[in-house]
Chains A and B, each alone.
Chain A
Amino acid sequence: MARLTTTILLVGALAASTACSKKRPAVLPPAAGEAPPPAYQDPNGGLNGGAGAVTPGSSADFKRSVTSDTVLFGLDQYDIDSEARAVLDTQVQWLTRYPNVRVTIEGHADERGTREYNLALGDRRANAAKNYLAARGISSARISVISYGKERPVALGSDEASYAQNRRAVTVVVN
């Protein structure tokens, strides 16, 4: 039943994405000059000796293995488009390989929405990504969601390029 529900939601999301004609930028790696991603916490306390040695199934392994940990959305949108699907498919591959790993999907919004609405919008986006992963066979019990609304932008400008990076859902490995 749960699977059925998520599948229906997925179909809805796909339908919404085809209906959406808005051209959105390619999935971007963190832009140069933006704040660097948080430093990787090596669960082995650095004994692996530097960035080259990555523990299989770890957060660093995840980030290295997938196209991106982040999918982007259009303004006030939460549909999973073809680019987002391609990104999430690589996450599915990795999560299938490590079936005991749990993830949290963080939903975010740009600053052009009001605070409370953006909390709900971030929840929508995180759940859209979660539903896609679940529809591809990842147990939804492994996936939690959290919305940060507009509280944690990655790009700090007040321009479309920054907004586009901030409308996102980020998959984070729970160590």
Chain B
Amino acid sequence: MKISALLIGVSMLAGPALAQDVPAVTLTPPAQAPAGAQPAQAAAPAQAGPGQTPPPLEVDVTGGISAPMPIAIPAMPTPAVTSTPAGSTDALGRQLSDIIANDLRGSGLFTPIPPAQLRTVMFPEVTAPAYDYWGGTGAQALVQGYIRANSDGSLTVGCYLYDVTARAELVRQGFVVPPSQWRRAAHKCADAIYARLTGEGPYFDSRVVYVSETGPKGNRVKRLAIMDQDGANHRFLTAGSSIVLTPRFAPNQQSIVYMSYVGKNPAIYVYDIGTGKQRLVVQNAATTFAPRFSPDGRWILFSRAEGGNTDIYRVSSAGGGTPQKLTNSPGIDTGGSYSPDGSRIVFESDRSGGQQIYVMNADGSNQQRISFGGGRYATPVWSPRGDLIAFTKLSGAFRIGVMGPNGSGEKLLTDGNQDEGPSWSPNGRVITFFRTGRGSGGKADLWSVDLTGVNARRIPTPLDGSDPAWGPLQP
């Protein structure tokens, strides 16, 4: 048995060369697949039980978390225990399944089977699931996989999803990663499972940039920080000597635009993640803030306060060039955010007397108010799916809500005292925001909530956190 697995392991070395990103590879099964199994990634429904075909396994994403799907995610075996820079492959196999379970649990749509009910999966069993056993645990879906160290130093992670009731393979994918990015293989696997079972787009293999906070409320030390969506691989980007606010990813994720008080000159900067260098975006300007990239990365939208009046501008992200003024109402126009196709901009303005949400064309034309409910509306952000706009509603408390791009269907998702600053997950189904407590000890933390509004979760950070911005899915 062991030799067989090893032999197959050798045959599987012929994967694509490792690259910076994480390509999905076509897997050779680690053991002889049952006769009739599909070689491709497509579902293999042929093995449905005798008599009738069970209904397809799927998760209802509109009904909330009333019945999250039970899913079994046993530790991933390794064909040969190997020491790697990321750790031993057998330890990695356990951690991979933990990461996948944590991702799926965090979506609110799945309930991973408790570890005590998980059995050890031997390597050949990865493609030949013990359906009878897993059926007895109550699991409707089963995630199995393996991890193997390759001779070139990379790791291959196999990822399989099975419908326990129909006894069918639903997903078969493999990921080749450098050891430094081993966690991404787990997120990619979780994404494949999530997408297959929910019909929604993936979002787990993504990062969040935010402002890490510490110190007394009257003199907070604020630092840019970046981390994986689940809080792992946390890294501080700035030292905290100046106030920093409102970081947002460039679409290519290689830079971050944000606001800094460095030199007591509050202005927007672009931070290059690779080099750590930063540059001032607009020279010789009064206070600039509220920056955001256009979806194609060519523009940076920002607000500029001058003489007590604030308007929205755009400027080429390449540097240089004269900013183009998009609004000119007397009052505060700020918080601009592009539609995913880049053709329109949603923003907030107090031109009517209080903050309300407006939409305009990307050149500033055709400005129209879309929010008309009681209270004030702020920080609008267009969903990456284009169908919704998230906002902060101020009416006593601050709450996070969503509405259609024409202002219809307003729905509040949170009920904290001070929830502010929504940012969308890459698939447009989850929103991250920050929640501030009351009083002198009141600190801010990062949270997420999904569109059902019932799955609010705190995102763990080493210190306090605010101004989260969810980046795109990693390539």
Contact = CB atoms under 8 A, between A and B. Distances in A.
Interface of A: 9, 35, 76, 78, 111-117, 119-121, 123-124, 126-128, 131, 146-148, 151-154, 156-158
B421 A115 contact: yes
B440 interface: yes
Given A35-B216, A127-B308, A128-B308, A116 B379 contact: yes
Contacts of A146: 264, 266, 287
Most chain B CB within a 10 A radius of its CB, from A35, A114, A124, A151: A114
Contacts of B421: 114-115
B277 interface: no
14 contacts: A35-B218, A35-B219, A113-B394, A115-B420, A116-B290, A117-B348, A119-B305, A119-B334, A120-B334, A121-B332, A123-B308, A124-B308, A146-B287, A157-B439
A112 B354 CA distance: 13
Interface string B369-403: 00000000011000000000000101000100000
A16 to B, nearest CB: 12
Contacts, number: 98
Given A78-B308, A158-B438, A114 B245 contact: no
Nearest to B396: A112
A112 B216 contact: no
B438 A116 contact: no
Contacts of A116: 246, 289-290, 303, 334-335, 378-379
Contacts of B327: none
Contacts of B379: 114-116
B456 interface: no
Contacts of B289: 116, 119-120
B231 interface: no
Contacts of A128: 308
B229 interface: no
Nearest to B437: A158
B218 A154 contact: yes
B398 A147 contact: no
Interface string B417-442: 01011000000000000001011101
Report the contact-size class of chain B (Cβ under 8 Å from the partner). Answer: 35 or more
Nearest to A123: B305
Nearest to A121: B332
A68 to B, nearest CB: 18
B235 interface: no
Contact of B307 (A35, A127, A148, A154): A127
Contact of A115 (B245, B306, B308, B394): B245
Majority-rule SS of B interface residues: strand
B217 interface: yes
Contacts of A158: 438-439, 442
B217 A156 contact: yes
B310 interface: yes
B378 A114 contact: yes
A128 B245 CA distance: 24
Given A113-B394, A115-B245, A120-B289, 13 more contacts: A35-B216, A111-B436, A114-B421, A115-B467, A116-B289, A119-B305, A120-B305, A120-B332, A124-B332, A128-B308, A146-B287, A158-B438, A158-B442
Contacts of B219: 35, 152
Contact of A117 (B287, B355, B467): B355
Interface in B271-300: 286-287, 289-290
Contacts of B420: 114-115
B243 interface: yes
Contact of A147 (B246, B266, B442): B266
B220 interface: yes
B325 to A, nearest CB: 15
A158 B417 CA distance: 11
Nearest to B440: A156
Contacts of B264: 146
Contacts of A131: 308
Contacts of A111: 418, 436
A121 B307 CA distance: 11
A35 to B, nearest CB: 5
Most chain A CB within a 10 A radius of its CB, from B243, B264, B440: B440
A4 to B, nearest CB: 14
Most chain A CB within a 10 A radius of its CB, from B266, B418, B420, B467: B266
Contact of B218 (A76, A78, A121, A152): A152
Contacts of A147: 266, 287, 305
A59 B305 CA distance: 27
Contacts of B332: 117, 120-121, 124
Nearest to A76: B354
A39 to B, nearest CB: 14
B356 to A, nearest CB: 11
Contacts of B308: 9, 78, 123-124, 126-128, 131
Nearest to A147: B287
Contact of B398 (A114, A119, A127, A148): A114
Interface string B395-413: 0001000000000000000
Contacts of B438: 158
Most chain A CB within a 10 A radius of its CB, from B217, B303, B306, B439: B217
A153 B218 contact: yes
A95 B287 CA distance: 25
Contacts of B222: 151
A128 B307 CA distance: 8
A157 B246 contact: no
A117 B378 contact: yes
